[in-house]
Chains A and B, each alone.
Chain A
Amino acid sequence: DTEVTQTPKHLVMGMTNKKSLKCEQHMGHRAMYWYKQKAKKPPELMFVYSYEKLSINESVPSRFSPECPNSSLLNLHLHALQPEDSALYLCASSNPTGTRGGGNEQFFGPGTRLTVL
């Protein structure tokens, strides 16, 4: 199984709502990532978990709260978002090899298209 799944595929929420994005992988990967991608722009790294611990937070606003309950699951909790947070949210996973870029191909999910009204 070389697939990363993300749910939901689409999400529309108001600025006062609380919602969560979910990501799952069963490849035994111990690194998981959240990216945000606006239209016609490259993916922007948000968070990295390594061995279920948060290792990188790219100065993301606190209205985005990541959670890694176990090695297969990654959540992104959303609260009090702004319309400018509307984007495609991508999850990825990889094996943390300890080398700089070597052998740690990231597998991406299809993303969740988020619209904040």
Chain B
Amino acid sequence: LAKTTQPISMDSYEGQEVNITCSHNNIATNDYITWYQQFPSQGPRFIIQGYKTKVTNEVASLFIPADRKSSTLSLPRVSLSDTAVYYCLVPSGNTGKLIFGQGTTLQVKP
């Protein structure tokens, strides 16, 4: 079964770029990689999703190397409001269900 590994926590300062890397060694050929953000006592919110190379939207970029064994979420110029838990998800098992890993708690400081 595919499993993800992320750093437990990261610190950053306002205005900096933050890169969070996720390892997913057993990802299947057709699987997409999805990232969610969660604030305390709220439901997770979709950030970005990708299959290969690079994907960019209005809030983040996702870099996926050719071997697809990892991916990196890039948040440009973070602000205090980006303090949250960030989860990397890949489909698991025959059903392709998405399983949340432990996530990365990002603390943005002034």
A→B interface (CB under 8 Å): 4, 42-45, 48, 55-56, 88, 90, 92, 99-103, 105-111, 113
Contact = CB atoms under 8 A, between A and B. Distances in A.
B30 A108 contact: no
A92 B89 CA distance: 15
Contact of B96 (A88, A100, A105, A108): A100
Nearest to B87: A42
A44 B98 CA distance: 10
Contacts, number: 63
B95 A44 contact: no
Contact of A105 (B41, B49, B91): B49
B100 to A, nearest CB: 4
Centre residue among A4, A102, A105, A109 by max chain B CB count within 10 A: A102
Given A42-B87, A43-B100, A44-B100, A105 B46 contact: yes
A88 B45 CA distance: 15
Given A88-B41, A99-B30, 6 more contacts: A42-B102, A45-B100, A48-B97, A102-B51, A105-B46, A108-B45
A101 B102 contact: no
Contacts of A102: 30, 32, 49, 51
Interface string B67-101: 00000000000000000000101110001111111
Top 3 A-B pairs ranked by shortest CB distance? A108-B43, A101-B32, A42-B100
Contact of B43 (A100, A103, A111): A111
B19 to A, nearest CB: 21
A103 B101 CA distance: 20
Contacts of B103: 42
Contacts of B49: 101-103, 105
